[in-house]
Every structure is written in structure tokens, then in C-alpha cells.
Chains A and B, each alone.
Chain A
Amino acid sequence: MATVNAQPAVPSSVWRARLRLASRSVRENWGLFVRTRIGLLGLAIIAMYALLAVAHPVLMSTVWEPRIYDPVIGYAFDETKQPAPPSLKHPLGTDPLGRDILSQLMFSARSEFLLGLLAATVTVVIGTSVGAIAAYFGGWVDTILMRLADIMIMMPAISVLIVLSALIGVEHFELALLIGILSGFGATGVVLKSQALSVVVKPYIDAARSAGGGHFHIILVHIVPNLLPLSFLYMMFTVTSAIFSEAVLSFLGLLNVRMSWGLMIHTTESAGYLLQVAEFWWLIFPASLSITLLCSAFYLVGRSLDEVVNPRLRSR
């Protein structure tokens, strides 16, 4: 009993109070999110693909024989003609190279997630910092960051990627970094800066300064938390654009990746089946539908987060 009393009672109640406040705000926001409906739909789709991604390695190590089902080097010896239409053993059929399409789809889901989330995280970390710093310091710091943003926005991403993939070979990781940097220093940074501009003129920033708070304290404690809702929103939109860019670039054959949804369409196209959709639908639909669904899902989540963080939009 005595050891319990050694803990000062007051601070622990402070943390409990904070925890209560945090959980209350999570509950309230979750309630608003649920009420938007489209956000839930988006979450459901994301959850479905997350399940597929997680299930792949499990299936590979249990029921799927790697020799046949490996998404890259497998071959469906059990089929006589490739591409084979859907069957019990291959629910979505096989591709022109005899690989199982469901396996490819599930295998790619994981890298799509990693790509999207990495790109989004890089975007938001850079964009929030750029926005907060440019708005807070102003002057030449602002000028330099905004000229850089102009360059990023004007940069023809596709041609840069062509050059880069010729020079170093762009994989998922590099692509995520590139998208994150382009968007973080570019459009996202500019949007977050304009939001930050409305924060830096608030008297509570002056109050913090006159309390003796340094630049770091003010940016971290007062500006960034007020940018975070918008940052999360842009995070969702960046996931969408990252997955979509990946699909386009893989389809063009510009990415050095082992397997992805875009690459599946690329394989179909280079084997000459792209224009025979009606006959070989399983070569096109699973991959393109997945791209569309997952992109829309993140977009829907973003839209409904927008309604949660923007009371203005809520009461329609």
C-alpha cells in the first residue's frame, strides 16, 4: 500500500483526465465519421483489401503450393492452356504467363498499401513542416519555400520518372519518396501554408510568445496541431494519387517492380489481350477494379474526414 502512495496522486489524475478527454474526442469524431456513411463504405473496402493482403502469405504457406501459386515465378501446371479462365483451383484464372491472378492481386495489395501510406506519410510530414515554417517565419524563408513549391508543382512528374527509371531504376520505395517529396514540397505544402497563415495571426500565438515560448514550441504546440486535421485529409488524398500513379507508371512499364496491379494490366497488354476484354475479362477486371476501388476508398475516407474536421460542411 505504501508503494502506491509514493506515486503523487495529482499528476496521475491529470493523465486520467487527459485520457478521458482524448477518448471523448475520439468517440465524438467517430460518431460524426459514421454519420457520413461514405466514410464507412471507404473503410470497409480498405479493410477488405487489408484482409486480402494479410491472407496472402498465410495461403502461400498453407494451401497454395508456391511452385504453382507464386505471384511472380509460379506456373499453373494444372492448366493446359494459358491464360486459363476462372476455375475452382484458380478462382480468377491465370495470366498469359500462367500465373494465378488471385495470388497476384492479393500479393500486390500489400505493396499498394505500403506505397500509399509511405507516400502519404512523407507528404504530410514534409507538407505540414513546410506549411507551418513558411507561414510562421514568413520573409525569405517563406519566399524560398514557395518558389520551391512552384518548381515542384510545375515539374512534369512523368518525364522526371522516365529519366529516373532510366538512370537508377525506380521501385515502390523510391516512387513513394518521390511522390511524397513532390506533393509535400508542392501542392500539399502550399495548401497547409494557407491554413497555417490563418493560425499564425491568432492572439494565442502572441500569448505563447509573451509567455516565453520559442519558435519550436509555438510551431509544435500551437500551429501543427491546428494543421493536423487538414494534413490527415491530404494524407488520404495522397494515398489515392500514389496508388493511381503507380498503376499508370507500371502500365507504362516505367517501374522496376516485381508485381503490382498496374503491372498485371501491363502484362495483359504486352501479351496482346488488352483489346479482348469481353473474352479475357479476368485479365483486366480484377486489377483495374482493385485500383479503382482502393483509390475511391481512400478518397471517400478523406471526404468524410473533411466533413468531420470542417464543421462548415457538416450540417448539409
Chain B
Amino acid sequence: MSEATNNTQAIPAATSRLLLRAIDLSKRFPLSSGWWDRNPSFVHAVDGVSFDLMAGETLGIVGESGCGKTTTGRMLVRLAEPTEGQVLFENESGDLEDIAHLKGQPLKDFRRRAQMVFQDPYESMNPRRTIFDTVAEPLQVQKIGDHAERLERVSETLGLVGLTPPSSFLFRFPHELSGGQRQRVAIARALVMNPSFVVADEPTSMLDISIRTGIMQLMGELADRLGISYLYITHDLAVARYMCSRIAVMYLGKIVEMGETEEVLQNPVHPYTKALLSAVPVPDPEATRDPIDIKGSVSVPVDPLPRCRFYDRCPIADNFCRDNDHPPLQDKGSGRLAACYKA
């Protein structure tokens, strides 16, 4: 099940320059209400999430389906507008600027610096457009270069993602390419404007297992070479381990634990992280781990009660966890953050 069992890693070196800071980011979706609905319910897809991302760093977001990973990523590239909170992002002159509610030309300029690679390589390209049209689209809508320059830029980027010779791909249609090739095209489209930040939303989960490692290696190499920061979304801890220097574990719209990847995976603090890890087969036959049982499955955070989000499934919760609001993300020593009263 894990495609990165070897110990080689694709983790690029981070710098100490802050690129992005999310502050109390929230996204709520109203549930099937009309204008007559006085008290609509909300899905709290993302609920008060904060983290920093350094230039060149890859931060992993892991968690079960529906915990708000994609929504978080979409807010960072402004495919969704945050309901609350701020996203500070380094602008061209090197200052941090809140991009959470940008509009018009400033938003368009921001889009040059932040891109996204989508999960499904079969649906993320318009079937009626050639590879050249697809990869050149950002240059075209941003009015970068003339036709000849764009052609050169696109060819160069296709070469960069390993589609060589580029000329043999330019005028083909997506359906003529394999899944792995398409995902390379999607990466090329994201990189063609030289962004400093890319959200990768489970870029390998729809691909054949045999080619996943290749795509992950490519993304790691590109980050190193071009100094890109990734927010790497995955539900596979082995992938996170392979790609990310730090990870944030999400549960029902909240970050419940965050820290250095190896630290978190080898020495989890939060009961949810422990449970996630106990569900993963251990590569080392000598190692033993106590199985941890969590009851039920993940629910949808519709108007959540003011208590710990993990209360219903937590093996160590007590009345304090039920009677108090969701615990804040606190330092549990050596830079590890966890949101738990009991840990």
C-alpha cells in the first residue's frame, strides 16, 4: 500500500525565510439553505487552522477523507475564499501580504506565485485542448510573452517535468497520454509561471502504484531546483514521510498535531495520530506497537458541539474533554504542537 518503503527521501532543504503564514483560517459551507432559512446549518470544513511555511519547505497535510485537507489547500491558492482568518503570503517585494480577500488585478498577480496540482489527472485537463494549450494557458491569461516565447517556455517546462522530447507532446490531446504523463503535464502547467508555492492535492493517489514514486521524486527534485514550497496533501503517511519535512495532522477541520515528520510519526502525541499510525503496517518486523482502537468513523463537522472534536472517538477522553471547547494547539516540547488536554 505504501509506495515509498525505501528510505531515500525527496525532502528538499528548507530556508528560514517565511513564505506563507495561515492565521486562524476557517471555511464554512452553508448546508442546503434558502433565503427563507433563518438559521442555516454550516459544515465547518476548516476551523481555525494556523501554520507557517518556509520558503523551499514541504509541509504535509494528512488526515482521513473529509477532514478539510483540500479545502485548506484551495483557500491558500484562493480557489476558495476563507470565511475567516488571514493568509499572509510573500509578495514580489518580499513583504508579507494578506491574500485572503484579494480581488481583481492583485488577485491575478498573486496567482502567478501560487499554483495547484490537482488529484485527478484525467479531469484536470480540458479534453478538447492540446497539451500546448493547457500548459500555455497561464502564460496566455497572464499575458506573459508572445507566441514564440510561450512556445519556448512551454517546451522548456515540459522538458523539466521529464516529457522529452517536448515537441512530441505539444500537439497531442490529454487522452493520448498515460496517467503519469498527464500528471507531469499538470505539474508543468503549475510550474510554467515560476511560482514560489504549489499546493499538491494527492497528486499521486489516482496513479498506478508503479509510477507514483517517479512523480514524487520529480516533485522533490523540482522543489530543490526551483526553490518551490509545497503544501503536500495526502492521506498516506508513507507518502508524507517521503515528501515532507513537517506534517500537520488534521481531524474534522482542525489541526490536531503538527511537527517534524519523523518526530510525529515515531513519537506521536495526539491519540488520533497514534490511531492513524496503528492502522499503518510497520515496515520494521522487530518493532511493536500497541493497537489503538478508535470507535466509529469520521463524521461530517456540521455545527460541531463546543467540545473536543475527537471526543466521540477518543480512547482517553474524559468529562473535561466533553465540557470544554476544542483544545488549542499547544507546544508539547521540542517544537511539537498538539491539540489535546490529555496528552
Interface residues of A (CB under 8 A from B): 8, 10-11, 14, 17-18, 20-21, 202-204, 206-214, 217, 221-222, 225-226
The minimal Cβ–Cβ distance linking B152 to chain A, given in whole angstroms, is: 8
Decide if B108 is an interface residue (CB 8 Å cutoff). Answer: yes
Report B-chain residues with C-beta under 8 Å of the C-beta of A14: 132, 147, 151
With A17-B170, A17-B171, A225-B128 known as contacts, the answer to whether A207 contacts B118 (CB < 8 A) is yes
The minimal Cβ–Cβ distance linking A199 to chain B, given in whole angstroms, is: 9
Most buried by A among B115, B128, B134: B128
16 contacts between A and B (CB under 8 A): A8-B148, A11-B148, A17-B170, A203-B123, A204-B125, A204-B134, A206-B74, A207-B137, A207-B189, A210-B115, A211-B137, A212-B108, A212-B138, A222-B126, A225-B126, A225-B128
The minimal Cβ–Cβ distance linking B103 to chain A, given in whole angstroms, is: 12
Which residue of A10, A17, A20, A213 contacts B141 across the interface (Cβ within 8 Å)? Answer: A213
Closest partner residue, chain B, to A205 (CB atom): B126
Check B148–A21 contact: CB distance below 8 A: no
User: 4 closest A-B pairs (Cβ-Cβ)?
Assistant: A211-B138, A203-B124, A212-B111, A17-B171
Check A213–B130 contact: CB distance below 8 A: no
Closest partner residue, chain B, to A15 (CB atom): B147
The interface size bin for chain B is 35 or more
Check A211–B111 contact: CB distance below 8 A: yes
Q: A208-B141, A212-B111 are in contact. List 9 more A-B contacts (CB 8 A).
A: A10-B147, A11-B147, A202-B123, A204-B126, A207-B189, A211-B138, A212-B108, A212-B112, A221-B129
Report A-chain residues with C-beta under 8 Å of the C-beta of B293: none
Most buried by A among B112, B118, B137: B137
Check B147–A209 contact: CB distance below 8 A: no
Report B-chain residues with C-beta under 8 Å of the C-beta of A8: 148
With A211-B137, A211-B141, A212-B112 known as contacts, the answer to whether A203 contacts B151 (CB < 8 A) is no
The minimal Cβ–Cβ distance linking A216 to chain B, given in whole angstroms, is: 10
Decide if B41 is an interface residue (CB 8 Å cutoff). Answer: no
Most buried by B among A20, A202, A211: A211
Report A-chain residues with C-beta under 8 Å of the C-beta of B151: 10-11, 14
Which residue of A21, A213, A221 contacts B171 across the interface (Cβ within 8 Å)? Answer: A21
Report A-chain residues with C-beta under 8 Å of the C-beta of B263: none
Complex CA–CA separation, A208 to B123 (angstroms): 13
The minimal Cβ–Cβ distance linking B81 to chain A, given in whole angstroms, is: 12
Closest partner residue, chain A, to B105 (CB atom): A212
Check A207–B147 contact: CB distance below 8 A: no
Instruction: Tell me the total A-B contact number using a CB cutoff of 8 A.
Output: 80
Complex CA–CA separation, A191 to B80 (angstroms): 28
Check B126–A210 contact: CB distance below 8 A: no
Interface of A is mostly: helix
Report B-chain residues with C-beta under 8 Å of the C-beta of A10: 147-148, 151-152
Complex CA–CA separation, A172 to B118 (angstroms): 51
Complex CA–CA separation, A212 to B125 (angstroms): 16
Report B-chain residues with C-beta under 8 Å of the C-beta of A202: 123-124, 126
Complex CA–CA separation, A105 to B282 (angstroms): 84
Complex CA–CA separation, A65 to B189 (angstroms): 68
With A17-B170, A211-B137, A213-B137 known as contacts, the answer to whether A206 contacts B148 (CB < 8 A) is no
Which residue of B115, B124, B141 contacts A214 across the interface (Cβ within 8 Å)? Answer: B141
Decide if B79 is an interface residue (CB 8 Å cutoff). Answer: yes
The minimal Cβ–Cβ distance linking A116 to chain B, given in whole angstroms, is: 28
The minimal Cβ–Cβ distance linking B157 to chain A, given in whole angstroms, is: 13
Report A-chain residues with C-beta under 8 Å of the C-beta of B78: 210
Report B-chain residues with C-beta under 8 Å of the C-beta of A225: 126, 128
Check A210–B111 contact: CB distance below 8 A: yes
Report B-chain residues with C-beta under 8 Å of the C-beta of A17: 170-171
B:248-303 near A, CB below 8 Å: none
What does the 1/0 interface line of B32-45 toward A look like (CB < 8 Å)? 00000000000000
With A14-B147, A226-B128 known as contacts, the answer to whether A206 contacts B118 (CB < 8 A) is yes
The minimal Cβ–Cβ distance linking B296 to chain A, given in whole angstroms, is: 30
With A8-B148, A21-B130 known as contacts, the answer to whether A204 contacts B123 (CB < 8 A) is yes
Report A-chain residues with C-beta under 8 Å of the C-beta of B118: 203, 206-207
Check A206–B171 contact: CB distance below 8 A: no
Report B-chain residues with C-beta under 8 Å of the C-beta of A208: 137, 141
Complex CA–CA separation, A245 to B132 (angstroms): 46
Complex CA–CA separation, A259 to B241 (angstroms): 79
With A10-B151, A206-B118 known as contacts, the answer to whether A212 contacts B142 (CB < 8 A) is yes
Report A-chain residues with C-beta under 8 Å of the C-beta of B79: 206, 209-210
Closest partner residue, chain A, to B174 (CB atom): A204
Complex CA–CA separation, A21 to B128 (angstroms): 11
Decide if B312 is an interface residue (CB 8 Å cutoff). Answer: no
Report B-chain residues with C-beta under 8 Å of the C-beta of A209: 79
Complex CA–CA separation, A14 to B147 (angstroms): 9
Decide if B120 is an interface residue (CB 8 Å cutoff). Answer: yes
Decide if B77 is an interface residue (CB 8 Å cutoff). Answer: yes
Most buried by A among B77, B116, B193: B116
Report A-chain residues with C-beta under 8 Å of the C-beta of B124: 202-204, 206-207
Complex CA–CA separation, A226 to B134 (angstroms): 15
Complex CA–CA separation, A11 to B150 (angstroms): 10
Complex CA–CA separation, A222 to B123 (angstroms): 13
B:115-163 near A, CB below 8 Å: 115-116, 118-120, 123-130, 132, 134, 137-138, 141-142, 147-148, 151-152
Closest partner residue, chain A, to B117 (CB atom): A207
Complex CA–CA separation, A8 to B152 (angstroms): 12
Check A18–B115 contact: CB distance below 8 A: no
Report B-chain residues with C-beta under 8 Å of the C-beta of A213: 137, 141
Complex CA–CA separation, A207 to B78 (angstroms): 11
Complex CA–CA separation, A214 to B147 (angstroms): 20
Report B-chain residues with C-beta under 8 Å of the C-beta of A206: 74, 79, 116, 118, 124
